[in-house]
Amino acid sequence: MPIFYGALCFLLTSPVALLSVPRPRLSLLSTRSSLPPSFRTHRKSPGRSFPLSMTSADPEVTIEFLKELAEAGGALIRENIFKRGKSTKGKISAADLVTETDVAVEKLLISKIKEKFPAHKFLCEESATSDDKLTDEPTWIIDPIDGTANFVHTFPFASVSIGFSRGKEVKLGAVYNPVLNEMFTATKGGGAFLNGEKITVSGCTKLSESLVSTGFCCSLMRKLSSDSTTEAERKEVEARKEEILKYISVIMQEVHDIRRVGSAALDLCQVAMGRTDMYFEFGPHEWDVAAGSIILEEAGGFLCDLDGAPFDIAARRTLAAASKDLAMELVNKLAAGKCLRPFR
């Protein structure tokens, strides 16, 4: 009973509370003069030029080009997000949504990239297959709309996420929320920026003082009510459900509060700029975390697997924190609560 009560309390915690947590840096939607100057500088237009240090991570690809791509995709999101009655279809369930805008943004970005770099590879959410793997080749890792359910429901946390990888290492990343006009960018060794202004993590070192975000796959849970779900699949989903309830119950006892924003890319960026202190999740794909991971690391954050092992973009287990001490405290709590097993 305590586990289910804890889960209920968590689910009733509105993600909109991210906008009103009593820390000055958390006020997102207002641009009134009462905002701290350090936050108001982040509201500058993403159209400003970037420091030269941000263009040297790759000999061919520049952060300016990623920014152009993100703005082009973001324009389509901004044009359609507040329209009602969007056409949707489910991928693995009725809750795992894809819209016409997802497809349109992905096609637009691929087309623009192929014009400049016809030999480059792609790993994109809407066109990916189970055989797609990240290789040493120059590769664009794209989520056209990270936060599709948010987009469908007009909740203003949907982003274009674009990462560029060479040698299986992400070299550049851009995450753009066109509704809030926030462009997060980073290059390897060049720092992380929000609308051209350098950002850093909060530096929080204790779970007891942290604001934590997480996520879980509602579409996977919906398979429990589907007639097409096999018995083997049902057992796997039931096990995953119990895991989710267990780790939420464990973490709720340790932190200031929990948020579920619904966009892994934006979750990573919130940690990168200090709005939250940590993000962890079982299940995100490469396109969910590629761009956000380099932004987090370049902002001074710590990234690893949920068992403390080095971060693997393909492992589908992500822990991003404002400090290594904070990350390791969560790792130890999850291990003690026996919350971990391989994600499939």
Fold match, 2-11+18-26+202-336 / 44-198: no
Q: Give the mean pLDDT of 294-301.
A: 99
Is 305 one of the annotated binding-site residues? no
Q: Give the mean pLDDT of 35-52.
A: 43
- Identify the CA nearest to 318 among candidates 263, 257, 264: 264
CATH topology (fold) of 44-198: Fructose-1,6-Bisphosphatase; Chain A, domain 1 (3.30.540)
Catalytic residues: 125, 143, 145-146, 148, 288
Checking if the pLDDT of 300 tops 70, the result is yes
What is the rounded average pLDDT for all residues in the chain?
Answer: 81
- Residue with more model confidence, 178 or 21: 178
The total number of residues written for the chain in this structure? 344
H helices, E strands: number in the chain: 10, 14
Residue 334 binned pLDDT confidence (cut-offs 50, 70, 90): confident
CATH topology (fold) of 2-11+18-26+202-336: D-Maltodextrin-Binding Protein; domain 2 (3.40.190)
- 164 pairs with which residues across the strands? 140, 172
Residue 28 binned pLDDT confidence (cut-offs 50, 70, 90): very low
Q: Among 221-235, 267-281, 299-313, name the one with the lowest average pLDDT.
A: 221-235
Q: How far apart are CA 149 and CA 157, in angstroms?
A: 10
Task: Decide the pairing of beta strands 302-304 and 317-321.
Answer: antiparallel
Reported pTM: 0.80
Checking if the pLDDT of 243 tops 70, the result is yes
Q: Under a CB-based contact definition with an 8 Å cutoff, are residues 78 and 181 in contact?
A: no
Q: What is the three-class DSSP state of 222?
A: helix
Checking if the pLDDT of 111 tops 60, the result is yes
Residue 36 is predicted with a pLDDT of 40
Residue-range domain boundaries for the chain: 2-11+18-26+202-336, 44-198
Token pair for residue 225? 């009510």
Is 325 one of the annotated binding-site residues? no
DSSP annotation of 96: S
Alpha carbon of 5 to those of 242, 261, 281, 334: distances in Å?
13, 21, 21, 19
Task: Kindly report the number of other CB atoms within 10 A of residue 94's CB atom.
Answer: 15
Is 58 one of the annotated binding-site residues? no
Token pair for residue 301? 């954050």
Q: How far apart are CA 108 and CA 222, in angstroms?
A: 31
Checking if the pLDDT of 58 tops 70, the result is no
Q: Give the list of residues 6+ apart from residue 172 with CB closer than 8 angstroms, or none.
A: 57, 58, 61, 62, 63, 66, 163, 164, 185, 186, 187, 188, 294
Is 288 one of the annotated binding-site residues? yes
Is 233 one of the annotated binding-site residues? no
Residue 246 is predicted with a pLDDT of 82
- Identify the CA nearest to 285 among candidates 261, 267, 312, 323: 312
Q: How far apart are CA 226 and CA 146, in angstroms?
A: 25
pLDDT, tens digit (0-9, with 9 covering 90-100), for 122-177:
999 877 554 578 899 999 999 999 999 999 999 999 999 999 999 999 999 999 99
Alpha carbon of 87 to those of 148, 210, 324: distances in Å?
12, 39, 43
Residue 48 is predicted with a pLDDT of 44
Where does residue 260 fall: left (phi above 0), alpha (psi -120 to 50 degrees), or beta otherwise?
Answer: beta
Q: How far apart are CA 344 and CA 329, in angstroms?
A: 25
DSSP 145-213: EETHHHHHTT-S--EEEEEEEETTEEEEEEEEETTTTEEEEEETTTEEEETTEE--------GGG-EEE
